[in-house]
Amino acid sequence: MGPGPTMVEPRVYAAMGQPVVGHLDPYFFQVTEDVRKLLGVVFGAGSHFNMALSGTGSAGMEAAVANFTIPGEKMAVFANGFFCDRISEMGRRYGAEVVRCEKPWGEPFTDQEAAGFIQREKPKVVAFVHAETSTGALQPGKAICDAAHSIGALVIGDCVTSLGSMPVEVDATGIDVAYSCSQKGLSCPPGLAPITVSARALEALRARKKPPSAWYLDLKLLDDYFDGAHRYHHTAPISMFYGLREGLRIIAEEGLEKRWERHRRNHLALVAGLEALGLRMHVAEGKRLWVLNTPRVPEGIDDLKVRRRLIESHGIEILGGFGPLAGKVFRIGLMGASSTRENVLLFLEAFEAALRAEGYSPAASGRAAAERSYDA
């Protein structure tokens, strides 16, 4: 129940046990075509250019930066968490002139702040993190995309922690390049990075005069492998693609809107329980992720000791904060297969016991408050 990897769906494990075929076998390309179509639904992307890269979410991030930034051109980053810093560093390494609009970790940007920054800087590429794993904050993207498109810029959206568990809606938002990972809201093991590219971004990609310096993540070469002539590029992790296809099928069977609502209800119940215990949430109400919750660590409590008790007594893993939030927040994941009523209630009981054992006196029963939230 941390920020990922999350629990894996049993059907995904079963799918990954199927016999491995070659990476140029027609059956494998049937699997990747299924993945492409299902990813379009989950991303909310009508573009044909959807694929899963062989690598983790950071590979998706690097592919977005490598293919859509040009050395010497300006890249604007909305920075309010760790993964905003990571995409900034990648931009610098690929030669972009990185400019940043910064706020404290966990504070999303307003529409006015987003539009003003973009109009002032007039970058070629704008990047933001939709769901910041380090803070639990949600950054709406519509204003960012509208402002970027008004000056002809492309938008990169990091959807690593939101895809499959919260609305992403790439087309409706206006995100040109969105990427994610397999091990969070999609409830698969780590190892693949879904990515989608809009028609306008694809046009920019094809207009590049020089190929990106990252050969392995060159999207034009990968498109030729997965969806073009199937020309050999690399040995894809076949079993991972079996698992991702099954994970996406499970999402389709549940229905996206029902899945989002499941995550929303479990988030609200968890927050009700945490607040009943007397804990304060780091991110303001209305700006929180449903999938990654960050209550503040009570004064005088060592978060590491609480987390160790959870592991040792109940086998429950959550993580703490890092960077400026080190020792200040817990990071509690409720994503994909892990986001269930049973897990919320089990966690709150175990968490209360661990806090008490470290000398904290809860204000009220967290489990009872969560049950009231479910019954409301």
| Mean local confidence (pLDDT), 146-162 | 98
Angle at which helices 238-254 and 256-276 cross, to 10°: 80
Q: Calculate the dihedral angle through the C-alpha atoms of 318, 321, 326, 328, rounding to the nearest 10 degrees.
A: -80
- Tell me the pLDDT band of 374, cut-offs 50, 70 and 90: very high
Neighbours of 163 (CB within 10 A): 30
pLDDT of 242 reads: 98
**CA distance to 9, 12, 242, 245, per residue, from 250 (Å):** 9, 9, 13, 9
| Mean local confidence (pLDDT), 108-123 | 98
Q: Which amino acid is at 296?
A: R
pLDDT of 228 reads: 83
- Tell me the pLDDT band of 47, cut-offs 50, 70 and 90: confident
Q: What are the tens digits of pLDDT across the range 210-225?
A: 999 999 999 999 999 9
pLDDT of 227 reads: 87
pLDDT of 83 reads: 97
Q: What is the mean pLDDT of the chain?
A: 97
Q: What is the pTM of this model?
A: 0.96
pLDDT of 48 reads: 85
Domains of the chain: 10-253 (3.40.640.10), 256-375 (3.90.1150.10)
pLDDT of 352 reads: 98
